[in-house]
């Protein structure tokens, strides 16, 4: 393992499990990770070598090679409970974890993280326009335009697991005071935009009434802010392909 210091950052170049084993308990503020997606599971299902030898179109060969054909994408480290238990040990109480996954492997990974002891928050959806399908065209009479394969649809979403280590103190405030972890800087993540009228809560427990003014953002208590829209659990790459799916519309207006 090689250790390098750049400014206030210390970089550990080595096996993540070995590095974490040497870190003190409750010493890390947050974990952001992009583990292997383990797209080689087809090999396990069909036995080593079988998928690559089947078919003439190369679909099984591509599927058995893992992410972009990389060997490191094999195994099951992201699906092991002990992997995330090691993360839980070094993370401070209240600290957050963000883990990227493929849409096919997200379920297995998220269950492993939760079983390790993390509190699961709503996932974050990352939308992108650069994905491309890997479908195989059917050669069946009368089925022109039909395709098949494990990635027949164009990939456009990457799920991000969001979780949190349980508090060690009785309240969130007490936990934050002790560890400095457990809350999200919402105002620091607000999304800017053009000024527009907002919808303020009408106080009757349902519905809303329009509140005019050159401000953006609101809360259930009718709070107004000019800092921007409240951050959501959906993010995107800003590409034309993605923006085209979000046309400007006024159909979401609600009256109280």
Tell me: the pLDDT tens digits for 211-239? 333 334 444 444 445 678 889 999 998 88
Share of the chain above pLDDT 90, in %: 49
Distance separating alpha carbons of residues 193 and 96, to the nearest angstrom: 28
pLDDT at position 132 is 82
Q: How many Cβ atoms are within 10 Å of 178's Cβ, its own excluded?
A: 15
Q: What gap in Å lies between CA 118 and CA 66, rounded to an integer?
A: 28
Q: What is the pTM of this model?
A: 0.73
- Helix, strand or coil, per DSSP, at residue 201: strand
Q: Could you state, in order of their start, the residue ranges of all structural domains in the chain? A: 17-38+75-179
Q: Work out the average pLDDT over 6-24.
A: 93
* pLDDT tens-place string over residues 127-158: 998 888 888 999 999 999 999 987 888 888 99
Q: Residue written as tokens 């995107």?
A: 236
User: Which stretch of DSSP H or E encloses residue 242?
Assistant: helix 240-243
The secondary element (H helix, E strand) that includes residue 43 is helix 41-46
Q: How far apart are CA 210 and CA 204, in angstroms?
A: 14
DSSP class of 154: P
Q: What was the pLDDT predicted at 220?
A: 45
User: Judging by beta carbons within 10 Å of its beta carbon (0-12, 13-18, 19+), is residue 113 exposed, middle or buried?
Assistant: buried
The span from the CA of 44 to the CA of 40, in Å, is 8
DSSP strand pairing (91-100 vs 28-33): parallel
Name the token pair of 45. Answer: 């299902």
The CA–CA distances, whole Å, from 157 to 100, 103, 120, 129, 133 equal 11, 7, 19, 9, 13
CATH architecture for segment(s) 17-38+75-179:
3-Layer(aba) Sandwich (3.40)
Count of CB atoms situated within 10 Å of the CB of 193: 10
Residue 43 near residue 73, CB atoms below 8 Å: no
Average pLDDT over residues 161-186: 97
CB 50 within 8 A of CB 71: no
pLDDT of residue 202: 41
Beta bridge partners of 8: none
Asked if the model's pLDDT at residue 29 lies above 80, the reply is yes
The predicted-structure confidence for 76-117, as pLDDT tens digits, reads as follows 899 999 999 999 999 999 999 999 999 989 999 999 999 999
């Amino acid at each position: 393992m090689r250790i390098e210091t750049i400014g206030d950052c210390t970089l550990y170049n080595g096996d993540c499990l070995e590095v974490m084993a040497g870190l003190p308990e409750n010493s890390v503020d947050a974990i952001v990770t992009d583990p292997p997606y383990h797209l080689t599971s087809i090999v396990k299902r069909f036995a080593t070598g079988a998928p690559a030898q089947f078919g003439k179109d190369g679909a099984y060969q591509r599927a058995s090679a893992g992410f972009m054909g990389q060997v490191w994408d094999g195994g099951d480290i992201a699906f092991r409970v002990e992997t995330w238990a090691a993360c839980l040990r070094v993370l401070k109480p209240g600290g957050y974890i963000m883990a990227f996954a493929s849409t096919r492997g997200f379920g297995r990974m998220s269950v492993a993280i939760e079983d390790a002891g993390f509190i699961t928050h709503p996932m974050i959806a990352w939308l992108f326009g650069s994905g491309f399908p890997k479908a195989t065209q059917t050669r069946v009479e009368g089925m022109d335009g039909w395709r098949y394969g494990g990635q027949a649809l164009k990939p456009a979403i990457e799920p991000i697991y969001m979780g949190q280590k349980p508090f060690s103190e009785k309240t969130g405030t007490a936990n934050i005071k002790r560890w400095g972890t457990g809350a999200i800087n919402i105002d620091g993540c607000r999304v800017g935009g053009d000024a527009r009228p907002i919808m303020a809560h009408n106080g009757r427990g349902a519905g809303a009434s329009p509140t005019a003014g050159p401000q953006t953002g609101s809360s259930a208590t009718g709070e107004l802010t000019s800092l921007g829209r409240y951050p959501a659990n959906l993010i995107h790459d800003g590409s034309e392909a993605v923006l085209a799916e979000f046309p400007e519309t006024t159909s979401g207006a609600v009256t109280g």
